[in-house]
Amino acid sequence: MQTLKSLKNIKSSYIREILHVANSPDIISLAGGLPCLNAFPMRVIEKSLLDIVENKQYFQYGETRGHEPLIEQLRLKYAVDSSQGILITSGAQQAIDLCTRAFIERGSNIIVESPSYLGALQAFDLAGANVLSVEQECDGPNIGELELLFKRGDITFFYAVPDFHNPTGCCWSLAKRQKVAELCVEYNVLFIEDAPYRELRFLGEELPTVTSFCADHSIILYSYSKIIAPSIRVGAVIFPMRYLGDLYKLKQVMDLHTSVPMQEIVNQVLRDNSYATNLSRIRNLYYERYLALKNELVEIETIKDDFSEVQGGMFIWLKLNGVCARVLTSTID
Amino acid sequence: MQTLKSLKNIKSSYIREILHVANSPDIISLAGGLPCLNAFPMRVIEKSLLDIVENKQYFQYGETRGHEPLIEQLRLKYAVDSSQGILITSGAQQAIDLCTRAFIERGSNIIVESPSYLGALQAFDLAGANVLSVEQECDGPNIGELELLFKRGDITFFYAVPDFHNPTGCCWSLAKRQKVAELCVEYNVLFIEDAPYRELRFLGEELPTVTSFCADHSIILYSYSKIIAPSIRVGAVIFPMRYLGDLYKLKQVMDLHTSVPMQEIVNQVLRDNSYATNLSRIRNLYYERYLALKNELVEIETIKDDFSEVQGGMFIWLKLNGVCARVLTSTID
């Protein structure tokens, strides 16, 4: 028995494949968004694990939509009102897959930024989406190009990472956030806002989410991989309430529910008094690393104009003019 | 934007929906396979959590195929040779969904036992499978009926739970295990063997898996929900090596990888000296409960002949002649 032909077209993620190399202690990896080990709030994680082990109920089957104390906490954190639902996912990658399975069938037209997050493209390809792309400018998508695509009238959703984009580091301006939201409402296109890096701002002022301007036309995906720890695999998805029933059924099919002990870690870290202090510590940590890399790059005459400065997150985008990145990597090997 | 029409046909699991009632301490729930809280190996879980928190690396992104020490442990436990691959999943439900997405497209013909596990049927329905069924007799599937279905020549896979079936408790005889394996090889049908209850035998002799008779035509799904704890969401899938690449890509799309701390709990529990003793304690616990329920049922004149005795697992199947179970539940409410 053969696996489906559609699987043959999916590329495995190169970034995931080199993880065992990237994780080696003698490597400084610039390849993927691996958080710094010193960023993890280990003291609160330890405290929460000690609490968890005292409560056998945390090891029983949990509810599909998520661990109730965490959901309550997220309602406060993101000011979620009764018109929106929350579902806890096993990382934001599962949230991307969940949205894909809820809306995309073979041939559905969707829009992504160019370039876009590899893990999302894999999910869209697997579902057989027809992936259209919009140019990413330094302050967000090219609006004229986006509106032309929206005018086709057959777009299922527009997936984007407006805060400290993976892989470019781009952060959308306020004006583009508002304009994209306006267009999504006008053309009735769903916006999928992927926000894993949003809290990692180290320069400039925090901007509102695109979702805050078009909540009824938007689904926002949060991740706790970058602000707590990735291996706990906890994310959250917030959506217009009308989608609750279908997303709930999909989550049942996908894994019944997300690990309750891991959800309780997130709950405790978010509630802890140290949360704000720790977040500012993490931001400083990434700011220092960003400065170190930037200061090295500007010293190199041939590439100093080929990258853009960023205000947060884990990525900068360096153009290698006329050089293939994969060949360069092999050469360094 | 509407969710896909195909989602409308999926039934939500009634058993999952009543979980918050089933989990209430003043309820003795006979509704779903909720393990007994006293079955969880809390001492070893506690010890492993203390180890985990000492190792920051366990909180970093993990490898897609699973946590290496756990994979090694499972290779020994299940005597997996080099012709087979292992992938760790976020519970066995994800393993069912993984196999579904690897092999089923809209209209694919698959076979299940009648009745079958609700969570598997949801996944098959979502993928648009044409679900055929084979009668379950007291010692396994009706072989004549199964062979007739196999003879059609267009069967993608046969999904079954040969050990202490959910929901009937049925355990396949050795003869039927061998015969089904033989037919799968003869007609080149893939066998999906779901084995979450396999280690919960409290009577009789352990029988070989169906997979052991047709390893090149079979994928076996293991769960640690019933022998360790469900909320940790760890399962494993063992398959012919030729499927590794595609299953690996699917797992990347689905959630990148399973929670590393939760995988390390399974690793430590399986390696601990207390494992065998604890397993026999759990078997006794479920045997006592089975006897208590059975002894009550045989006292009731009108139903004493309407259920079958079982040798393990968490289920007995009681026929309510002429009464709708859902109506009965509402009446008791």
DSSP letter string over A217-272? GEEEEEESTTTT-GGG--EEEEEEGGGHHHHHHHHHHHHSS--HHHHHHHHHHHHS
Q: What percent of chain B has pLDDT over 70?
A: 96
Considering only CB atoms, A61 lies closest to which of B19, B49, B58, namely B19
Q: For the segment B152-172, what is each residue's pLDDT rounded down to a tens digit?
A: 999 999 999 999 999 999 999
Res. B200: pLDDT tops 90: yes
Considering only CB atoms, B249 lies closest to which of A10, A50, A52, namely A10
Tell me how close the Cα of A194 comes to any Cα of chain B, in angstroms: 15
Res. A20: pLDDT tops 80: no
Q: For the segment A55-65, what is each residue's pLDDT rounded down to a tens digit?
A: 999 999 999 99
Report the pLDDT value the prediction gives residue A52, as an integer from 0 to 100: 96
Which of A28-42, B18-32, B40-54 holds the top average pLDDT?
Answer: B40-54
Give A-chain residues touching B99 at CB under 8 angstroms. none
CA A310 – CA A294 distance, rounded (Å): 10
Confidence of residue A5 (pLDDT cuts 50, 70, 90): confident
Q: What percent of chain A has pLDDT over 70?
A: 96
Res. A24: pLDDT tops 90: no
Considering only CB atoms, A12 lies closest to which of B23, B37, B252, namely B252
Backbone angles phi, psi at B89, to 5 degrees: -120, 165
Q: Residue A260: what residue type?
A: V
SS3 (DSSP) at A207: coil
Report the pLDDT value the prediction gives residue B229, as an integer from 0 to 100: 97
Report the pLDDT value the prediction gives residue A11, as an integer from 0 to 100: 82
Q: What percent of chain B has pLDDT over 90?
A: 81
Res. B68: pLDDT tops 80: yes
CA B127 – CA A254 distance, rounded (Å): 12
Question: What are the structure tokens assigned to A265, written together?
Answer: 């870690």
- Contact between B231 and A6 using a beta-carbon 8 Å cutoff: no
- Contact between A45 and B62 using a beta-carbon 8 Å cutoff: no
Q: Are A168 and A115 in contact (CB under 8 A)?
A: yes
> Using alpha carbons only, how large is chain B's radius of gyration in Å?
20
Report the pLDDT value the prediction gives residue B331, as an integer from 0 to 100: 60
Res. A333: pLDDT tops 60: no
Q: Which of A295-299, B15-19, B268-272 has the lowest mean pLDDT?
A: B15-19
CA A77 – CA A297 distance, rounded (Å): 37
Confidence of residue B5 (pLDDT cuts 50, 70, 90): confident
Mean pLDDT along residues A91-112: 97
Confidence of residue B274 (pLDDT cuts 50, 70, 90): very high
Report the pLDDT value the prediction gives residue B332, as an integer from 0 to 100: 54
- Contact between B253 and A59 using a beta-carbon 8 Å cutoff: no
Interchain CB contacts (distance < 8 Å): A and B:
226
- Contact between A254 and B190 using a beta-carbon 8 Å cutoff: no
Give A-chain residues touching B250 at CB under 8 angstroms. 7, 126
Considering only CB atoms, B102 lies closest to which of A3, A13, A230, namely A3
Q: Are B238 and B95 in contact (CB under 8 A)?
A: no
| Residues sharing a CB contact under 8 Å with residue B253, sequence separation 6 or more, in sequence order | A10, A93, A97, A119, A122, A123, A126
**How much is the pTM?**
0.95
How far CA B60 is from CA of A119, B49, B188, B257, in Å, comes to 18, 16, 42, 11
Q: Are B131 and B165 in contact (CB under 8 A)?
A: no
Report the pLDDT value the prediction gives residue B177, as an integer from 0 to 100: 98
Question: What are the structure tokens assigned to A203, written together?
Answer: 């320069």
- Contact between A253 and B57 using a beta-carbon 8 Å cutoff: no
Q: Any idea what DSSP says for residue A295?
A: H
Q: What is the mean pLDDT of chain B?
A: 93
Tell me how close the Cα of B301 comes to any Cα of chain A, in angstroms: 35
Mean pLDDT along residues B181-194: 98
Task: Say what the ipTM of the complex is.
Answer: 0.95
- Contact between A62 and B231 using a beta-carbon 8 Å cutoff: yes
